[in-house]
Amino acid sequence: MNLSDEIRKQKIAKLTAYDVRFPTSLTLDGSDAVHTDPDYSIAYVVLKLSDSPVEGHGFAFTIGNGTDIVVHAIESYRYLVEGRSLGDIYGNFGKFWRDLTNDSQLRWLGPEKGVVHMACAAILNALWDAWGKLEKKPVWKLVSDFTPEQLLSVIDFRYMTDAITQDEALQILRTNESTKAQREQEILKTGIPAYVTSVGWMGYSDEKIKKRCEEGLAEGWKYYKMKVGVSVDDDYRRAKLIRSVIGYENKLMMDANQVWDVQQAIDWMHKLAEFKPLWIEEPTSPDDVLGHEAVAKAMNPLGIGVATGEHCANRVMFKQLITRGALQFCQVDGCRTGSINELLSILLLAAKHKIPVCPHAGGVGLCELVQHISIFNYICIAPTFENQMTEFANHLHEHFIAPVVMKNGRYHAPLVPGYSAELKKDSLEAHIYPHGSVWKELTANGQHKPRH
Ligand SMILES: C[C@H](O)[C@@H](O)CC(=O)C(=O)O
Ligand SMILES: [Mg+2]
């Protein structure tokens, strides 16, 4: 990896982690069949450097209670991060990724899954943010400018080589190399396609759903997602309502958030099939590869795909799902798997199998992150927008220093250096849990009761 001396000499001087929560449960933004009252939250990492005012900011997304556990886990990795030079980290990022995610004792809590993996993702996201800022590039541009060989060097291919070899990955990247510049110009002009989730959260009234769909149409949206899975009669009524507003020329997707047994998913979706959903998302347990495969087989004749990924812990799970034909839409998440290093291996595997990647972004800050992933995926790995769109949820963007820019239902490429992950100072301070001003006030007036 080519690194300037300026970058190489920096050390990570300090890692700080914060528990930051937003009270979205008050309005039921983000609610679904199983997460009925989420408070969108992040375990937020700030990395200070030894010889530069640049800071790396990153996070893992959570939905309230338990964010403190992720913060604690992040702090357990401090000894591997503080004092490390950036030359050492970025110079061989694949190796650093392995050092971090496979700490010989902490790995027992995963490995590469759950709270420890989310903690690693938050730290790695902050490192990518710092790298982008030091190179004065948004992260999508930083990664897109890598040569195929440099790109491969940040990936840990262990556990993937039976599904995709480094040579196959190199081939995919080399095939796209000569036309990268063209696609970069294209996305700078027109952005990338997106779909909107915030029209159909489970806790919204019919009136609110109708209004949100009408607003969506006026804003130029073509793809809409609704939550399903509590009552089939309610789902039927809501799907009919949404279709009556958006018509059949626009696309509708459905998300069950893991609520069903396998056969129940199949039966339920037969009842909703007349609304022609493009996909059913998370029909059953996120770990149930065979279950997803069975649902996919049953949905195929109905023209409905299976989408999943927001709860897929790592590349190994994606390997099972993709190679078994158990998903038709790959919903990688910017914080659950091990950041860009691991995402790259999943994107390459998806490209090998011609599976569209539609990153998950229903949360706080996820849209800010995943726009980078979709952009470099399009530029370097999967140069198509056929069924390949990025989720958008219209909440809490105002708290970020460089929020997403949406126009006509499309993300416009972020131009600010870094990973778009940095919170405004005031927002951070006000939302720190439980002592930030927002939480103090909600607790004092009885709108919030701590759950422990
Ligand atoms: C709890 C989250 O809001 C979840 O419902 C998001 C999700 O499933 C999605 O965006 O997709
Ligand atoms: Mg979902």
Give the residue, by CA position, lying nearest to ligand 1 atom 7. Answer: 362
Closest ligand 1 atom, residue 281 Cα? 11
Give the residue, by CA position, lying nearest to ligand 1 atom 2. Answer: 30
Instruction: Tell me the sheet residues that pair with 44.
Output: 18, 59
Query: Encoding tokens for residue 268?
Result: 């339920």
Domains of the chain: 5-137+426-444 (3.30.390.10), 173-420 (3.20.20.120)
Rounded distance from Cα 299 to ligand 2 centre (Å): 18
63 lines ligand 1 (CB under 6 A): yes
Rounded distance from Cα 12 to ligand 2 centre (Å): 35
Instruction: Please state, in angstroms and rounded to a whole number, the distance separating the CA atoms of residues 352 and 183.
Output: 20
Radius of gyration of the chain (CA): 21
39 lines ligand 1 (CB under 6 A): no
**Closest Cα partner for 435 from 116, 94, 8, 18?**
18
Query: Encoding tokens for residue 51?
Result: 């010889």
Residue in 25, 31, 35 to alter for ligand 1 test, most ligand atoms within 8 A of Cβ: 35
Residue 69: predicted pLDDT:
98
Rounded distance from Cα 25 to ligand 2 centre (Å): 17
Residuewise pLDDT in 10s, the chain (452 residues)? 889 999 999 999 999 999 999 999 999 999 999 999 999 999 999 999 999 999 999 999 999 999 999 999 999 999 999 999 999 999 999 999 999 999 999 999 999 999 999 999 999 999 999 999 999 999 999 999 999 999 999 999 999 999 999 999 999 999 999 999 999 999 999 999 999 998 889 999 999 999 999 999 999 999 999 999 999 999 999 999 999 999 999 999 999 999 999 999 999 999 999 999 999 999 999 999 999 999 999 999 999 999 999 999 999 999 999 999 999 999 999 999 999 999 999 999 999 999 999 999 999 999 999 999 999 999 999 999 999 999 999 999 999 999 999 999 999 999 999 999 999 999 999 999 999 999 999 999 999 999 88
Rounded distance from Cα 408 to ligand 1 centre (Å): 22
Residue 280: predicted pLDDT:
98
Residue 200: predicted pLDDT:
85
ipTM above 0.90, yes or no: yes
Give the residue, by CA position, lying nearest to ligand 1 atom 6. Answer: 362
Rounded distance from Cα 84 to ligand 2 centre (Å): 36
- CA of 423: how far to CAs of 43, 45, 48, 345, 429, in Å? 12, 11, 15, 28, 10
Ligand in nearest proximity to the CA of 22: 1
**Closest Cα partner for 272 from 253, 257, 291, 250?**
253
> Is 189 noted as a catalytic residue in this protein?
no
Residue 1: predicted pLDDT:
87
Residue 47: predicted pLDDT:
98
Of 227, 292, 319, 399, catalytic: 227
Residue in 32, 201, 228, 278 to alter for ligand 1 test, most ligand atoms within 8 A of Cβ: 32
> Is 133 noted as a catalytic residue in this protein?
no
Please calculate the CA angle 283-216-186 and round it to the nearest 5 degrees: 90
Q: Is 230 exposed, middle or buried (0-12, 13-18, 19+ CB in 10 A)?
A: middle
